Amino acid sequence: MIEGKNEINFVLTLEDPKLWWPNGYGDQNLYDLTVKISENSVTKKIGFRYLEVITEDDKFGRSMTFRVNGRDIFCKGANWIPIDALPFQQTDDKYQRLLSDVIDANMNMIRVWGGGQYEKDVFYNLCDEKGILVWQDFMFGGALYPTDDQFLANVEQEVIHQVKRLKDHPCIAIWCGDNELIGALNWFEVTKRNRARYLNDYIKLNTHISTLVKKLDPDRKWWPSSPCGGEGDFSDNWQDDTKGDMHYWNVWHEGKPFKAYYDVTPRFCSEFGFQSFPSIETVKNYAPQDQWKIDSPIMKHHQKNQKGNEIIYENFTRYFKVPTSFENIIYLSQVQQAIAIKTAVDYWRSQRPQCMGTLYWQLNDNWPVASWSSIEYSGKWKLLHYFVKRFFQPIHIVAYCKNETTIEIWGINDTNKNYEGEVEFLFIDYFGKVVKKNKILIELIADTSINISKFEEKELPFDRKKGFLHITASLFSKMLIETDFLFSSPKDSEFKIPTISSEVNLDSDRNFSIVLKTDKPVFYLTLEISDIKGNFSDNCITLLPNQLKTIYFFPEDDVTQDQVKNNLKLFNINDYS
């Protein structure tokens, strides 16, 4: 070795390595690699996997499919923003907790958004360990950037540093040049007047980044921007669902109804979202009770989307009886958010392989705020995150109605095994009486979705306002999947007032079981335990008459049975004001 920089190249061969897989598809096998020179050494964990991003012309347009070790992966996940607005509070414990919540909700991908930050090493190490694919944006987001030599030299240092730092992680699935820079060309008057000039500047910057990335990491997929149709394609991927990745914001920003999600089938949807308020426990931390109005100065301060509170409230009038109490406004906003995202994900998952990925906006918050997140700044799960855990299950049953008259039932299987079983359809009125039922045998083929049944509104045994459909799927006599479908919006449904009972029991491991029972069907039944931090095993559920349902509560600190019992509150859509 000589004084100064030395480059040493050699090849190591590992016979028959155990492969690294995304969460839900196999084990996350990692190996320790140590390089020593004299007294100096470097150790890191590496994984072996073969990852491709397939973009091929097909009957729908052009695909976008992540393929790992020969298997096509349906990517299920969310967008990630910095975990705290104050960097010193971005602790390892917070990373561990949030990424564990990702796994608990059956996700396999996170998009590191280009308007945030390159994450710390602990983030990528945990994603390797947990099997979380990372869509990695470079940190250029929603703006116009200079392209002079000095700026490009700065960009070059940034790209070289980050690619060298991160390229050995098996979790890194794709390098993406930026967030919404192509779209930004249509946002400003100066770019609208001279789009060609600013497009040339964009191409210069993007080409500079891509040239560096392809040289440093030639075997990993390069993607110019999110959203986009691929290299050399500068079309509008907010509206074009035939190719590339899509950002679909027509529901939130344009005020379209939730059923507008049925109007598009993205090849890969890397952004879509709907806001809610954080829980009353979080609101208490920043707003005194005299500010508990959505148009109060403090509530408006903790809302950084200009029309956000207005959009949330206006949508109540579409789907619900408008609540008057502040706590029910909070509750209903989270129900509404969960329904919105479920509507999109259920439909797009059913359209596999035309759609092969859904990353909702957004997973987390970096301060206490009304937002699109499914997890609050405190770490508390919003109701959406419980929905995510259910609608991202590897095996899932969905029901939807696109045309107001035909109800479609689909079975989704993201595993590598075929499943045979029985599906039961119960048509139940709002008093709880089973008016009609029938069963069918099904086979869910590995890595597919299939339409297992459909029926017309005229086949319903009651007026659509007077009952609902409860579906159970029993696979191999041991796997039970449940879902429900309301034939009318909650506002128009003739729900009955339920009598709900609860029993709180202390388990041996200091967690609590809560046994619930009702005399009439109750919808979006939600448990809250005031002034005690913790999450539940499930929440925002349907409870049928005389059905015992046990929900577990996991407190962060030691609390007594009486404390949990006395602080337990139940919310439901049948009976609120």
Active site residue ranges: 180
- The whole-angstrom separation of Cα 142 and Cα 113 is 11
Please spell the DSSP secondary structure of 463-520, one letter per residue.
-TTSEEEEEEEEETTTEEEEEEEESS-TTTS------EEEEEEE-TTS-EEEEEEESS
Query: What is the CB neighbour count within 10 angstroms for residue 561?
Result: 11
- The whole-angstrom separation of Cα 418 and Cα 406 is 27
Interhelix angle 326-350/308-319, nearest 10 degrees: 80
Give the burial class of 117: count Cβ atoms within 10 A of its Cβ; 0-12 exposed, 13-18 middle, 19 or more buried: middle
Between the alpha carbon of residue 570 and those of residues 154, 290, 517, the distances in Å are 55, 24, 12
- The whole-angstrom separation of Cα 371 and Cα 380 is 14
- The whole-angstrom separation of Cα 242 and Cα 264 is 9
Give the burial class of 34: count Cβ atoms within 10 A of its Cβ; 0-12 exposed, 13-18 middle, 19 or more buried: exposed
- The whole-angstrom separation of Cα 50 and Cα 291 is 54
User: What tokens does 387 get?
Assistant: 């929905």
- The whole-angstrom separation of Cα 90 and Cα 97 is 12
Q: Length of the chain, please?
A: 577
